[in-house]
Amino acid sequence: MLLIRLTGRIPGGKSGEVLIRRESPADIPYIRDLHAAAFARGADSPGHAEARLVDALRACEGWIPELSLVATDTSGTISGHVVCSRASAGSYPVLGLGPLGVLPAFQRRGVGHALMHAVLGAAEALGEPLVVLLGHRDYYPRFGFRPAEEYGIIPPDASWGPHFQVRTLTTYMPEIRGEFVYAKPFQDL
């Protein structure tokens, strides 16, 4: 477990701490609800696609239990979740990051930031060469992500452009390049 002190305020107006740990089987329904709430796009469009995606990733060959992390407050309430799964770039095994979700009441308080640092540190500790994601180009560069095209990694959809990003880790080698393929559940979306 990793304890991180948040700089923002949590609900109730108190400053707080967040614990980052691996998900447990008991967390699964809370993670599902968390992603549904975090990715809700209004009353007519809850974020069930992301919740189903995490469930499908958990059941596929690309699942890496050490890279499915939850953030909790000191009472154990889950406020965020992130996962990396096995993917490939050309013939090389790499990681695909996502989804990353934080309950709306905990957003903009450092929970997502803490989860990103924790999952990148865990990927580094596992000896992974790089992490790929599709995400906001103003948010993810603060964690060292760069446009994938700079590394010769080709997105599954050319329209993703600068939103398709790579974060290299210590074991990265420049020959890791080619077409990126997410774990199968991403392809089934």
Query: What is the CATH number for 161?
Result: 3.40.630.30
pLDDT at 8: 54
**Total number of domains constituting the chain:** 1
Beta bridge partners of 165: 133, 147
pLDDT tens for the chain, residues 1 to 189: 655 556 555 455 455 789 999 999 999 999 999 999 999 865 555 568 899 999 999 999 999 999 999 999 888 899 999 999 999 999 999 999 999 999 999 998 899 999 999 999 999 999 999 999 999 999 999 999 999 999 999 999 999 999 999 999 999 999 999 999 999 999 886
Cβ-Cβ contacts under 8 Å for 159 (sequence gap 6 or more): none
- Pairs from 30-33 (Cβ < 8 Å, separation ≥ 24): 30/70, 30/78, 31/70, 31/78, 31/81
Pairing of strands 78-89, 153-154: unpaired
pLDDT at 188: 80
Q: What domain range includes position 43?
A: 2-187
- Residues 148-176 as b/e (b if ≥16 CB within 10 A, e otherwise) read beebebbbeeeeeeebbbbbbbeebeeeb
